[in-house]
């Protein structure tokens, strides 16, 4: 077992519901991109909180475990994509991006999922001309996602 979370993640039966059910991140989350604008809107672009909380059926323990596994697996997954891009290895890029796409899609993270999907397609098609640019975008989206997941998991601690 590589520590990854199988997909799709859907809680079968919640073990412990959140004390205060919530569908939102903190009122003042950090601007994920450092860009001006509505922080709630920016957060919603990174993570579909309602979908994520529905997936875990409000199970704070499950969400916490998923975030922990994500944070443990993220460095190796990103490194695999980085190596494939640097080596110009289309097949390795397709496989690594696919694995990372599965990991981030568990969190209803549309932008990170889309960035990983684009890299997966580049690998499948053998067209790596924009792979470095795609990796930079993926890395940025995953950083934004991780920041929001940490904050969300703190909010729903049992």
d(CA 64, CA 33) in angstroms, rounded, equals 24
Mean pLDDT computed over 37-65 = 80
Residue 12 or residue 90, greater confidence: 90
What pLDDT, on the 0 to 100 scale, is given for residue 115?
97
Task: Give the pair of three-digit tokens for residue 48.
Answer: 């579909």
Number of H helices, E strands in the chain: 6, 0
What percentage of the chain has pLDDT greater than the value 70?
Answer: 72
Domains of the chain in start order, with CATH, are 39-155 (1.20.120.160)
Secondary structure of residue 59 in the 3-state scheme:
strand
> Which DSSP string corresponds to 16-27?
SB-SS--SS--S
What pLDDT, on the 0 to 100 scale, is given for residue 12?
54
pLDDT band for position 60 (cuts 50, 70, 90): confident
Q: What is the pLDDT of residues 95-113, one digit of tens each?
A: 999 999 999 999 999 999 9
CB contact at 8 A, 84 and 103: no
Count CB atoms within 10 A of the CB of residue 57: 16
d(CA 22, CA 52) in angstroms, rounded, equals 11
pLDDT band for position 156 (cuts 50, 70, 90): low
């Amino acid at each position: 077992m590589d520590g990854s979370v199988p997909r799709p993640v859907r809680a079968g039966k919640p073990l412990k519901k959140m004390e205060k059910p919530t569908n939102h991140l903190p009122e003042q989350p950090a601007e994920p991109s450092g860009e001006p604008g509505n922080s709630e809107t920016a957060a919603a672009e990174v993570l579909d909180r309602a979908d994520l909380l529905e997936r875990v059926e409000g199970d704070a323990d499950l969400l916490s475990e998923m975030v922990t596994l994500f944070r443990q697996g993220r460095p190796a997954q990103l490194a695999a994509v980085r190596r494939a891009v640097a080596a110009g290895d289309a097949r390795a890029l397709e496989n690594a991006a696919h694995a990372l796409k599965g990991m981030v899609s568990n969190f209803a993270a549309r932008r990170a999922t889309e960035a990983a999907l684009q890299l997966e397609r580049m690998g499948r098609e053998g067209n790596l001309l924009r792979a470095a640019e795609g990796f930079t975008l993926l890395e940025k989206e995953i950083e934004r996602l991780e920041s929001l997941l940490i904050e969300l998991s703190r909010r729903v601690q049992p």
